[in-house]
Chain A
Amino acid sequence: MNVMVSQKIKTILRHQGAINGPIISELLDDLDFKCINRDISDVKRKKIFNLAVEMYQNLYQYTRDLSVQGYDDQDIRSVYLSFDFDDEYYYLTTENYVSNEDVEGLIQKIDLVNKLDSSELRAYYREILSNEQFSEKGGAGLGFIDMKKRSGLPLEYQIEKLDENISKYILTVKVEK
């Protein structure tokens, strides 16, 4: 993973395996506790917490229904997530499997928010907020917009095609220290 090249990167929180409501709740408590322990300012801590909520809930929302023929549900619903830092940034990272059918839509959404500057992003946020549509998965369609707004930096992603059915998807959101 690109962002992990730095030798100085340190991990604060890591989770691998299943994800569900109670696990998310525990991870968020742990994250908050570790941010307080590290004397991360309240503003940064809230930013990180909000980003983690969005990322982990999105992860669960997507993976809980994921089913691809020929694969064990439990295996492909397994995720990896971490919270790391180096001298310059905090990194929130999630890794999960995605059905290849969803890859194009995913890339389009991320690339679009990455292209927008902060005022365009805000206008886009207001537009999506006020339309009546909720996405198929029950989400508000605001996830990536919210992440980019809060981070202020481009969302970094990597998609690794594993075979004709599934890919591995890695998303990293950075917060300046």
Chain B
Amino acid sequence: MDNLIIEGTKQSPSVNFNAANGKLELSGRSIPENSFEFYNPLLEWLGEYAKAPKDETVLKVYLEYFNTSSSKYILEVLKKLKEVLKAEGVKVKVDWCYDEDDEEMMETGEDYEDVTGLEFDYHEIEE
């Protein structure tokens, strides 16, 4: 299947979902007014990917800002990622990255970990 690559803007994050190696990345700002429009292609891609995933899938999330309308869709992305686990013997992990001292972003990761039950690793990025 094709990779999903979307360039970031001031409103929306950059996306680099690589189907060939199972490395998925979402980074930048996520403050679009219409989150559905932006996130729906990601959800569709993940739905396809979940049918024949790599042995190990890692989603790296490194967001600077996000609005509450995005937060629901980020949860949907994580739920789709959880579907990947239905395939036998596969591993899925979220690398949750946040800027140094950005406790709010770290806590948001913990909230998602709690709500989804996915495995999260936290990385504080020094500026």
A residues at B contact (CB < 8 Å): 21, 24-25, 29, 42-43, 46-47, 49-50, 53-54, 57, 60-61, 122, 125-126, 129-130, 134, 138-140, 142-143, 146, 149-150
Q: Which of B67, B102, B104, B114 contacts A57 (CB 8 A)?
A: B67
On chain B, the residues within 8 Å of A21 by CB distance are 33
List, sorted by A's number, 12 A–B pairs whose CB atoms are closer than 8 Å: A25-B11, A29-B10, A42-B127, A46-B65, A46-B102, A53-B65, A53-B67, A54-B67, A57-B67, A122-B111, A138-B69, A139-B68
| Count of chain B residues near A, Cβ 8 A | 22
On chain B, the residues within 8 Å of A29 by CB distance are 10
A49 near B65 with CB under 8 A, answer yes
B residues at A contact (CB < 8 Å): 10-11, 31, 33, 64-69, 71-72, 75, 99, 101-102, 104, 107, 111, 114-115, 127
On chain B, the residues within 8 Å of A138 by CB distance are 69
Helix, strand, loop or mixed for chain B's interface?
A: mixed
Cα(A147)–Cα(B99), bound, Å: 20
Q: Which of A42, A49, A129 contacts B115 (CB 8 A)?
A: A129
| Total residue contacts A-B, CB cutoff 8 A | 61
B71 near A142 with CB under 8 A, answer yes
On chain A, the residues within 8 Å of B11 by CB distance are 25
Q: Which 8 A-B pairs have the closest CB atoms?
A: A142-B68, A140-B72, A140-B68, A130-B115, A146-B68, A53-B31, A53-B67, A43-B101
